[in-house]
């Protein structure tokens, strides 16, 4: 179990981007009634943004 956690911990920013960031911003976009281009669902857009942001944070080692 410890070995699994040690392997998953460096991927924390990606998990955060997909599991926390994406649903939170998707709900905010839906609540604000923002229409996205091409009729894309808000969750799809925020999942892509969250994934890219998480990968970037993992590679750079920081969020900003």
Q: Which residues of 2-30 are buried (b: 16+ CB within 10 A; e: fewer)?
A: eeeeeeeeeeebbebbbeebbeebbeebe
* pLDDT per residue as tens digits for the range 2-52: 888 888 888 999 999 999 999 999 999 999 999 999 999 999 999 999 999
Task: Give me the pLDDT at residue 57, please.
Answer: 93
- How do the domains of the chain map onto residue ranges? 2-60
Cβ 50 vs Cβ 42: under 8 Å: no
Total-model pTM: 0.83
CA-to-CA dists, residue 32 to 5, 20, 27, 35, 53, angstroms: 37, 19, 9, 9, 22
């Amino acid at each position: 179990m410890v070995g699994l956690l040690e392997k998953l911990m460096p991927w924390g920013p990606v998990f955060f981007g997909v599991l926390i960031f994406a649903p939170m911003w998707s709900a905010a976009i839906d609540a604000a009634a923002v229409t996205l281009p091409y009729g894309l669902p808000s969750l799809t857009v925020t999942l892509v943004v969250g994934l890219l942001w998480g990968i970037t944070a993992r590679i750079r080692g920081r969020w900003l």
